[in-house]
Amino acid sequence: MPADRPELKVTHSDGVCVVEFADRKILEELSINQIGEELTRLAEQHQPTNLLLNFKNVEHLSSAALGMLITLHKRIVDLGGQLKLTDIKPQIYEVFKITRLNKVFDIHDSAAKAKASFAK
């Protein structure tokens, strides 16, 4: 993967596509667009998509990144899949609460809890 591309660690387990972000900051518009394209491609390859985004390494998230997540969520729902988020740091979760996105997204404390919730 070229150095200018954002790093995503993708694993598949029990019908769930798990994506971990390698970057601590998801702020630049170019990398956010690349992440969005990559995640949309993953969603469209594996239908219905059960996508779990793990934010354990992420310390900063821009508003553009939130917009990308909203677009991705809509696309996955349109494809009949589910999107869940996990391991969001408290300071980032505050932004989700302020923007009421904690009501839009299915957010879990741990990847294990999030993966278990797909089975329900």
pLDDT at 41: 92
**pTM, rounded to two decimals:** 0.89
pLDDT at residue 6, as a whole number: 57
CB neighbourhood size of 86 (10 A): 22
Question: Hey, what domains does the chain have and what are their CATH numbers?
Answer: 8-118 (3.30.750.24)
**Rounded to an integer, what distance in angstroms lies between the CA atom of residue 120 and that of residue 105?**
16
Average the pLDDT over 77-95 and give the result. Answer: 94
Average pLDDT over residues 52-77: 94
Q: What is the pLDDT of residue 2?
A: 39
Q: Tens digits of per-residue pLDDT, 21-42?
A: 988 888 788 888 999 999 999 8
